[in-house]
Amino acid sequence: MGRRYERLTHPLIRRGNGFEPASWDEALRTAADGFERVIDEHGPTSFGMFSCSKATNEMNYMAQKFARVAIGSNNIDSCNRT
């Protein structure tokens, strides 16, 4: 018999040394605040994204749009070219 894994049923946010359940709005706001903080402190070119060749073309397109438009960084690469 293989291992049994349980799926997450809600987002988790790191608080202190552990994780606590959060709403989707809170989790997305926390992620957005983290991106914003890094960009404010270090500039948009401090952000980089690596995309996977196993993802669909649509997912890879969305990843590069997010990096370029939402973040302001051209630092995106993929293992598609290898």
Structure tokens at 34: 């983290």
How far is Cα 5 from Cα 78, in angstroms, rounded to an integer? 30
CA angle, corner 77, sides to 76 and 82, nearest 5?
Answer: 170
Asked whether 64 and 76 are in contact (CB, 8 A), the reply is yes
How far is Cα 53 from Cα 3, in angstroms, rounded to an integer? 28
How far is Cα 30 from Cα 60, in angstroms, rounded to an integer? 24
pLDDT single digits (tens) 2-35: 677 788 889 999 999 999 999 999 999 999 999 9
pLDDT single digits (tens) 32-63: 999 999 999 999 999 999 888 888 889 989 99
